[in-house]
Structure 1
Amino acid sequence: MKIFIMEGLNVLVTGSTCGIGLHTAKILFKKGATVILTCRDEVRGRRAVESLLVGVKEEDVAKESERIHLFTLDVTNYNSICEFTDEVSKMFKYIHVIINNAGIMGVPFELSVDGIEMHFATNVFGHYVVVERLLPLLLKTNRPDFKSRVIVVSSGLYRNAETIPQVSKLLGQKTYEYSSKQAYAFSKLANCLYTVALAKMLEPHNVGVYCVRPGFVNGTELGRETHWFLRALAAPLIWFIAKSLDQGCETIVYLAETPADQLKSGSMYYEKKEEPYNEMVDVTAIRQVWAILRHLEDTIWKRNTQLTDKQKFHGENVRNILEESLII
């Protein structure tokens, strides 16, 4: 099977200071890609950059460092996303691959600075905004031999989602019995629904969108909200059944570098193979989640006094690129 050489491709990885995101960035960097790392903490960000350069000959460090770009990004903060995408758009003419990886799991009920339930803000909405605002860079290409793409990191736990909550609940405007497990499961289901919707809308633009479930991976920070005692009890089992980071990011790397004619846009992949979604991924749910994403952004545009006219104008313009009637 022919694999495209990553050299010359610009790859953005969110949540790239630890776990699967950092490991994916390391592998793609070694394959020749220019990697765009994101961080909330600059110290951790600099450590991530240094870790990518481990093994590089001292005389080559300066040159190889030119292929690593570190940006500050808080995917739960709309203003931070706008600043980030503005900076990226000034520095780059093209983005060939966007990997929506940053995520949280099991946090107590909390609203983001924009007033959105934190699982949904982090795992879904923030990435929706990142991709939307970088669409012009994704649609342009200097590599006609490579189909630009978005890779959405989901989880097999999306199957545990019982329902799609009302938007008023996601905005904290309606009291309900909150379950962190259900909040996480729904956010991962939303990842799947978003993938299918975006794939349909980007099909005319020759951009692929793929969903991936890495499996149970050791070495990530997703379980950091779990009590230390429970983590200690589970450690032997985790060690026995969990995948390594190499195994966990294998399918992400596969989706990043495999020729598009060997992939199916809108599909879920596990262990480098396509697998069917469950019955929750249907047209009604796809439309519902897309409408939620649009409504949340509309709400932020009304509330956010720090958003500049230029930033809002750009958001409205990139929206027009996507033909929502294609969500059938």
Structure 2
Amino acid sequence: MEGLNVLITGSTCGIGLQTARILFRKGADVILTCRNEVRGRRAVESLLSGVPPEQVAKQSERIHLYSLDITNYNEICEFCEDIARDFRHLHVIINNAGIMGWPFELSVEGIEMHFATNVFGHYVIVERLLPLLLNTNRPDFKSRVIVVSSGLYRNAETIPQVSKILGQKTYDYNSKQAYAFSKLANCLYAVALSKMLEPHNVGVYCVRPGFVNGTELGRETHWFLRVLAAPIIWLVAKSLEQGCETIVYLAETPGDQLKTGQMYYEKKEEAYNGMVDTTSIRQVWAILRHIEDVVWKQNPRLTDAQKAAGAANRELLNESLIVMAAPPAPEVVEVTEAPEAPEVSIETQ
């Protein structure tokens, strides 16, 4: 991983921080994002812990901390402009930041918060940073996007109308379904993007870490209920290091040993469920494009230059490629997950 630039969202705690720590130790330059500067600085200190004092100054040059609210389109644009200013190449983008169990709330752009955080914000980041992914300086390494999903995507019952995602239509909001759909959308987005980036020799891989202890996904659950669930979590959950093993595997494994567009679990390919089909792939991609078009029309702070940059990057992707059939399911045995913790627990990624 030496000499590779790796961007990780949601990298101040949990799986994101542990992934950053491991990749940093393997020699990568890591780009961390934070909403809170204090937590960001703590994350930097965590990565440097264990580095000999005489090497701290030099090794800290491989850690780059940026402020980012992934639910704010303007902040994403400014963040991507900063990255493009500071880096000529990106080799790995890990879409890790996520929320779960959030009560109904809309982002500043009017997008349901699970979708804004888990899906749309990452879609914008990858779109805005595509030139850095395509402009590789490492012919020996296949640039890639890693999308962190969850086995709970299987619980998604339907793809909601875009008017519901945009909060324009009243409906019975269910935070579990909102989370499940956002994770299904991660899978559909990964397959769509993989088709469009394959001609550019950029890989896209989806991953479900499994049931992992030590994340902050359950922060919206009442503390008393989390205490009640703690013994079960301790018994069945993976550690953070176990939880990020497959993410690290996808970040460092030679591209010719991986299959773009596929889901990975415990470092092996895993079949998607029936919801991941051509129609749904196109539907979610259309939703993402539509929401961005709405933002472009309604956001008064967005500059003409930022709109033009987004439009130019869209042209890099041949959308006609996603009319192709979804990739065939690999011939693997379905992995049975550990029993789910009670409803009150910190959920899986």
Q: TM-score normalised by the shorter chain: which range applies? A: over 0.9
Counterpart CA distance in 2 for 1:142 and 1:30 is 22
Of the candidates 192, 201, 207, which is equivalent to residue 197 of structure 1?
192
1:276 Cα deviation (Å)? Answer: 0.3
Mapping 1:275-290, distance limit 5 Å: 275-290=270-285
Counterpart CA distance in 1 for 2:28 and 2:143 is 13
Of the candidates 275, 291, 310, which is equivalent to residue 315 of structure 1?
310
Q: Tell me, yes or no, if structure 1 residue 127 matches structure 2 residue 85.
A: no
Of the candidates 22, 26, 33, which is equivalent to residue 21 of structure 2?
26
Deviations 1:225-260 (A, max 9, x none): 011111111000000000000000000000000011
**Pairs aligned (count):** 323
Structure 1 unaligned regions, length at least 5: 1-5
Helix, strand or coil at the partner of 1:177? coil
Mapping 1:232-247, distance limit 5 Å: 232-247=227-242
Mapping 1:263-278, distance limit 5 Å: 263-278=258-273
Displacement over 4 Å in runs of 4+: none
Structure 2 unaligned regions, length at least 5: 325-349
| Alignment-derived partner of residue 116 in structure 1 | 111
Helix, strand or coil at the partner of 1:172? coil
Counterpart CA distance in 2 for 1:88 and 1:184 is 29
Deviations 1:274-313 (A, max 9, x none): 0000000000000000000000000000000101111111
| Alignment-derived partner of residue 92 in structure 2 | 97
Counterpart CA distance in 2 for 1:43 and 1:243 is 27
TM superposition score normalised by structure 1: 0.98
| Alignment-derived partner of residue 3 in structure 1 | none
Counterpart CA distance in 1 for 2:155 and 2:224 is 25
Deviations 1:169-212 (A, max 9, x none): 00000001100000000000000000000000000000000000
Q: Tell me, yes or no, if structure 1 residue 169 matches structure 2 residue 170.
A: no
Of the candidates 7, 27, 35, which is equivalent to residue 12 of structure 1?
7
User: Which amino acid is 1:208 matched to?
Assistant: G
Q: Tell me, yes or no, if structure 1 residue 41 matches structure 2 residue 36.
A: yes
Counterpart CA distance in 2 for 1:78 and 1:200 is 25
Of the candidates 72, 80, 84, which is equivalent to residue 75 of structure 2?
80
Q: CA RMSD of the aligned region, Å? A: 0.4
| Alignment-derived partner of residue 66 in structure 1 | 61
Helix, strand or coil at the partner of 1:210? strand
User: Which amino acid is 2:156 matched to?
Assistant: A
Counterpart CA distance in 1 for 2:89 and 2:211 is 33
Counterpart CA distance in 1 for 2:85 and 2:168 is 37
User: Which amino acid is 1:285 matched to?
Assistant: S
